[in-house]
Amino acid sequence: MSIPFLIIALVTLGAAAVAMALRNLIHSALLLVASWAGVAAFYLWAGAEFVAFAQVIVYVGAVSMVVLFAVLLTRRSRDDLAVAPESLGRALSALLAGGAVLGVLFGAVLATGLKVAPGPAPTVSVLQLGQQLMGPQVASLLVIGALLTVALLGAIVIASTDRDDVGASLDDARGRRQAAPLQEPEDTP
Amino acid sequence: MSAAATTDAFLERAPQLLRDAVTGFLPEPWRWIVNGIIAIAVILAVFGLLFAFLTLAERKILGRVQNRPGPNRAPTPTLPFLKFLGKIRTYGLAQPFADGVKALTKEDVVPRDADKLLHFLAPVALLAFSILTFAVIPYGRHLVPLELDAAVLYFFAAGASTELAVFMAGWASRNKYSLLAAMRALAQLISYELPLLLSWVPVVMLAGTLSTTGIVEAQAGWKWGFIPHWHVLTPWGFCGFVIFMVSALAESNRSPFDLPEAESELIAGHLTEYSGFKYALFFMAEYFGMIALSGMAITLFLGGWRAPLPFLEFVPSYAWFAVKLITLLLGFIWIRATFPRLRMDQLTRFAWKFLVPLALINLGTTTVWSLMAGSTALQIARWPICLALVVVPFVVIGRTLSAGVAPRTYRYAAS
């Protein structure tokens, strides 16, 4: 346990905890990004440079955008952004379900006998990492790539189902426009 | 002149000698820290000044292009003890400093309903992330602020984080037009991130390293004694360089891709609610991003700090880097003066239907190029093959996309 590690852990967990406690969804999302950046800092501290920068590109750069776009596109107004539990029962059951998952995960981690590697940790360069990924591990890399592509396509399929209310209002607008056609400006020579 | 002689030339090592003269007496951990601080201070000072005079050069050049003089009346401060000098003509050289004083003394207006904290954090975060990118660019033979194994990845990780700041600016302003403009800006940034990332993958493939020093090293040497081994002088490298520069224009919100803040149409988009020094910070971040991306383009494609001809190697390496950097930046200004602005749909169509396919094909071209490196005959044959692989898709995709659009007909203008 060194001091940098403690600071990184504190920032990561603190940001995550505050993100859970805040009512404003945008603030929560931005704090979640801070938490992800903390995880990247942890990788950097642990000497995994490549993983750290990949974490920043993927999570801070891309996933954060997905989260923010999702929040903004699914809320009707700014006042809708504040979330509160609907009833005490729901809040309690959410707490119970989350606590159960946490308990299972902690139990699994604690039950696993993590062996301490003898000697100092090996330093792996980006070159070795790339050669491992492109050589012996290439099959798993391709499988993961195919899996992510399928997930992406599935998300598009799920999201692109026509919503009735949206379609109806669009048709309304179209009908109104046809009823009162815009006066075309006459061509002047 | 042998390579060892150039490496140890006095001018080549002058910056380091100067630094060591200042920090040489310090004990080890302190020396390391002070060296780092000096590197940071030098980067901030050099690129801060470059930013200041770049704005002046831009305004002057745009002025000349539009047949007007540009800024030329910024006065020198009249201090009592300098009275005897009288009026000094500065040819507008004092303009950046006058601008700086103006930005500092302007009122900082924050909308009443704005998210105060995020409104303040957005310009700060944007500037911080764009300054971070300067750390890994090799400015000279011995001038790399930070040696990283995955330097190229670091550069683009820091660059990707700027999107967050743009979102924060648009959302915190509590102005629906700012928010809409921020979403448009994000759509542009995300669209052009892909060709930008794809365009340098071939370089990493052939150099076999993600470190910027390694990539500059891979471009060493001369063909027939005088043609440098720069990546831009190969078919795939030229294609990658052009895609990189176009995407860099779009990533740094420069004309003709400056729709996010199209000042004549959108009252500056997500920057509408910013004034005073915060606005200046956004401005600064835009120029820093432009300078950093140009520096990366030089490192990846234009041979980094290397001299263009063998007999010019006596000029110190950082001077060559500066020459290349200023050339690219003047190119940016020239493009701004020449091209009309794109429309939103043209912008995204250009990225997804033109640049991304070309960048993907360029990956294949690079593979062909590296596989045909065996014998001399193959090395001659790969030139026409790879040229065809670059030119044919360019023509075919370009023709298909512009079918039915061109030529433009003018109804009212005299032909």
pLDDT at A107: 92
pLDDT at B14: 79
* pLDDT tier at B254, thresholds 50, 70, 90: confident
Smallest Cβ–Cβ distance between B161 and the set A50, A61, A125 belongs to A61
- Does A102 have pLDDT greater than 90? yes
* pLDDT tier at A164, thresholds 50, 70, 90: low
Interface of B with A (CB under 8 A): 118, 148-150, 153-154, 156-158, 160-161, 163-164, 167-168, 171, 174, 179, 183, 186, 190, 193, 208-210, 411
**Average pLDDT rounded to a whole number, residues B313-341:** 89
Q: How far apart are CA B170 and CA B119, in angstroms?
A: 9
**Angle ∠(B130,B132,B138) on CA atoms, nearest 5:** 110
Backbone angles phi, psi at B352, to 5 degrees: -80, -35
3-state helix, strand, coil in chain B (%, to 5): 70, 0, 30
* pLDDT tier at B362, thresholds 50, 70, 90: very high
pLDDT at A163: 56
- Does B57 have pLDDT greater than 60? yes
**Residue scoring higher pLDDT (B212 or A172):** B212
Q: How far apart are CA B61 and CA B335, in angstroms?
A: 11
- Does B1 have pLDDT greater than 50? no
Q: Are B358 and B394 in contact (CB under 8 A)?
A: yes
Q: How far apart are CA B52 and CA B334, in angstroms?
A: 18
The predicted-structure confidence for B144-157, as pLDDT tens digits, reads as follows: 888 888 889 899 88
**Residue scoring higher pLDDT (A41 or A116):** A41
- Does A139 have pLDDT greater than 70? yes
The pLDDT mean for chain A works out to: 79
pLDDT at B160: 83
Exposed e or buried b per residue across A2-32, where buried means at least 16 C-beta atoms within 10 angstroms of its C-beta: eeeeeebeebbeebbeebeebeebbbbbbbb
* pLDDT tier at A181, thresholds 50, 70, 90: very low
What residues contact A128, with CB distance under 8 A and at least 6 apart? none
**Average pLDDT rounded to a whole number, residues B74-95:** 71
pLDDT at B414: 65
pLDDT at A183: 47
- Is B153 in contact with A64 (Cβ distance < 8 A)? no
The predicted-structure confidence for B101-136, as pLDDT tens digits, reads as follows: 888 888 888 888 888 888 888 999 999 999 999 999
- Does A188 have pLDDT greater than 50? no
* pLDDT tier at B87, thresholds 50, 70, 90: low
**Residue scoring higher pLDDT (A97 or A74):** A97
- Does A2 have pLDDT greater than 60? yes
Smallest Cβ–Cβ distance between A125 and the set B149, B154, B163 belongs to B149
- Is B160 in contact with A72 (Cβ distance < 8 A)? no
Smallest Cβ–Cβ distance between B190 and the set A65, A72, A125 belongs to A65
* pLDDT tier at B2, thresholds 50, 70, 90: very low
Range with the lowest mean pLDDT among A124-133, B184-193, B345-354? A124-133
Smallest Cβ–Cβ distance between B160 and the set A30, A61, A68 belongs to A61
Length of chain A in terms of residues written = 189
**Residue scoring higher pLDDT (B21 or B334):** B334
* pLDDT tier at A78, thresholds 50, 70, 90: low
| Domain at A1-83, CATH from 2.130.10.10, 3.40.190.10, 1.25.40.10, 1.20.120.1200 | 1.20.120.1200
- Is B153 in contact with A50 (Cβ distance < 8 A)? yes
- Does A186 have pLDDT greater than 50? no
Backbone angles phi, psi at B220, to 5 degrees: -80, 160
pLDDT at B161: 82
Q: Are B335 and B360 in contact (CB under 8 A)?
A: no
The pLDDT > 90 percentage for chain A reads 23
* pLDDT tier at B364, thresholds 50, 70, 90: very high
Give residue B192's region: left, alpha or beta (phi > 0; psi -120 to 50): alpha
- Does B292 have pLDDT greater than 70? yes
Q: Which residues of B touch A68 (CB under 8 A)?
A: 167
- Is A53 in contact with B157 (Cβ distance < 8 A)? yes
**Average pLDDT rounded to a whole number, residues B329-349:** 87
Give the pTM: 0.83
The pLDDT > 70 percentage for chain B reads 93
Interface of A with B (CB under 8 A): 26, 30, 33, 49-50, 53-54, 56-57, 60-62, 64-65, 68-69, 72, 78, 125-127, 187
Where are the domains positioned within chain A? 1-83, 123-178
Q: Residue B148: name the closest of B159, B137, B162 by CA.
A: B137
- Is A26 in contact with B156 (Cβ distance < 8 A)? no
* pLDDT tier at A180, thresholds 50, 70, 90: very low
Range with the lowest mean pLDDT among A92-96, B250-254, B328-332? B250-254
